[in-house]
Amino acid sequence: MLKLEHVFIEISGRYIVRDFSAGFPEKSLTCIIGPNGAGKSTLLRAISNILSLTRGTLSFDSVDLQTLSARERARRISYLPQTMQYAPSFPVPLFVELGGDPWDNEWEPAWKAQHLEHCLHLCNVAHLKEREVATLSGGERQRVYLAQVIYQNTPVILLDEPSSFLDLKNMVLIEDTLARIRDDGRTILMVTHDLHTVRRIGTQVIALKDGGIFATDRPQAVLNPSLIGELFDLDSETLRERFPT
């Protein structure tokens, strides 16, 4: 289980995340929601080791992740940021295979090839094998980036708005993909603004506001017009019309 206890994250003298505690078991998909600036992306970046915790503990299966090397941590946690800063001129299969770097060629060649094919098909990018990442559309790149994260083969996957740039068909495909790998035993934490996705595939919701936990429960309990209206400072009647229970 991934576990955070009393986590504080301070940036430029300001606490972006305050006293965050939560546990994330296997076969779970936790959707992290909340207004812009609530600390959602900052939380994922800290779990992935891009940012340091100011205070608190972060563990996986009772191992303190802050004591591990970057390679050891990357064998446990993979991370897809909200935006990628580059689109390399690599063929799609080679780019996806870069996700296996933390394993330092420990995988058997036959299994590695099978795993690559599985990830390409899972994310609907197998037909892009002959293309370079730099030539792809935004939605195609997003699916290739996700394929690389899944290829990394970690028990914990962090996703920051993975449906960005996707059309409706591929949003449905990615939801199905995430539900499948969740049920295979992965632990997924996903930042999203799509409350319909939360309802469809989430097993737990954590709502953040002003850096702290505003609510946490099953999707059915959190996704009601009153709570969501208060979370986003919107009139509950407006939410009731747009997001019926």
In the chain, pLDDT over 70 holds for what percent of residues? 95
Q: What percent of the chain has pLDDT over 90?
A: 82
- pLDDT value for 38: 96
pLDDT, one tens digit per residue, over 62-91 is 999 999 999 999 999 999 998 776 777 899
Amino acid 243: pLDDT: 61
pLDDT in tens, 99-131: 999 998 899 999 999 999 999 999 999 999 999
Asked whether residue 36 carries a pLDDT value surpassing 90, the answer given is yes
Strand order in the sheet with 156-160: 77-80, 156-160, 187-191, 28-33, 204-209, 212-217
pLDDT, tens digit (0-9, with 9 covering 90-100), for 224-245: 888 999 999 988 677 666 665 5
**Higher pLDDT, residue 56 or 234:** 56
In this structure, are strands 212-217 and 204-209 parallel, antiparallel, or unpaired? antiparallel
- The whole-number pLDDT of residue 88 equals 75
CA distances, 7 to each of 56, 164, 235 (Å):
4, 28, 31
Asked whether the whole model's pTM tops 0.85, one would answer yes
Q: How many Å apart are CA 68 and CA 88, to the nearest integer?
A: 29
Cα 81 from Cα 28, distance rounded (Å): 20
Mean of per-residue pLDDT scores for the chain: 93
CATH topology for 2-242 is Rossmann fold (3.40.50)
- Tokens representing 31 are 């959707």
Convert the pLDDT of each residue in 207-229 to its tens digit: 999 999 999 999 999 998 889 99
Give the model's pLDDT for residue 166.
Answer: 85
CA distance 200 to 177: 12
